[in-house]
Amino acid sequence: MIIAIDGPAASGKGTVARRLAAHYRLPHLDTGLLYRAVGAARLASGGALDDVAAAARAARALDLESLDEEALKAGPVGEAASRVAAIPQVRRALLELQHGFARQPGGAVLDGRDIGTVIAPEAEVKIFVTASPEARAERRHRELIGRGEAIGYETVLEDIRRRDARDAGRSIAPLVRAADALVIDNTELDKEATFAAALAFVEARRRELGIVAAAAPDGGA
């Protein structure tokens, strides 16, 4: 079973993906980390973020095993990631790795922007997690402050709006919900309620697809 989780920045898609992966004992890939790693490599080099050849080289040189998640989650890396993610050559360089991960025997959970539309359109389960920009900025602000970054709410909100516009407006693999995805708007939901909605949908899909037997109407075996 492939579970594809997409959504905008700080929507909580990563938490849903991680929890579903643990629940179903499936491997999980946070594809945002791949773009963050390319963005971080370009920031570290001091070169221009829109240098297509250099960004594509950084994407091809990526090693899944050596991603430093802690460092990649830092604020400025998100912006750099969204800039390099708009470069077609970068997306192409990261395609095979993601395809391979999605199609491993037994299935997988992937989260990102284009999992249900480009990476794994055949996924049995597609969920699009979203929330208002203000709610997402509040969460991301809390997260960054918790990590010791000195940053104001307004700056975070601005970053989120700019990234939303860039991610949704790019010509290649834009952030868009798949037609057959369940949309969970969690502006008013906490993490537990968001996970419960996602889990209920996965279970319904598993029954629909005959992966698990539907419960007998009388509740019996």
Binding site for ligand CDP (CB under 6 A): 9-10, 31-32, 35-36, 78, 81-82, 85, 112-114, 163, 167
CA distance 121 to 1: 13
Alpha-carbon radius of gyration of the chain: 18
Would you tell me the crossing angle of helices 32-45 and 88-102 to the nearest 10 degrees? 140
Which of residues 19 and 163 has its CB atom nearest to ligand CDP in the complex? 163
Which of residues 36 and 42 has its CB atom nearest to ligand CDP in the complex? 36
Work out how close the CB of 174 gets to ligand CDP at its nearest, in angstroms, rounded to a whole number: 9
Which of residues 35 and 101 has its CB atom nearest to ligand CDP in the complex? 35
Q: Is 184 helix (H, G, I), strand (E, B) or coil?
A: strand
Determine the residue with CB nearest ligand CDP.
Answer: 32
Which of residues 172 and 199 has its CB atom nearest to ligand CDP in the complex? 172
Would you tell me the crossing angle of helices 191-208 and 13-24 to the nearest 10 degrees? 50
Work out how close the CB of 208 gets to ligand CDP at its nearest, in angstroms, rounded to a whole number: 26
Measure Cα distances from 135 to 14, 156, 162 in Å: 16, 11, 15
Work out how close the CB of 170 gets to ligand CDP at its nearest, in angstroms, rounded to a whole number: 8
Which of residues 162 and 207 has its CB atom nearest to ligand CDP in the complex? 162
Work out how close the CB of 122 gets to ligand CDP at its nearest, in angstroms, rounded to a whole number: 16
Alpha helices in 103-150 (DSSP H): 133-146
C-alpha torsion 192→179→25→193, nearest 10:
10
C-alpha torsion 31→83→179→207, nearest 10:
10
Which of residues 31 and 186 has its CB atom nearest to ligand CDP in the complex? 31
CB 11 within 8 A of CB 129: yes
Work out how close the CB of 215 gets to ligand CDP at its nearest, in angstroms, rounded to a whole number: 35
Work out how close the CB of 206 gets to ligand CDP at its nearest, in angstroms, rounded to a whole number: 24
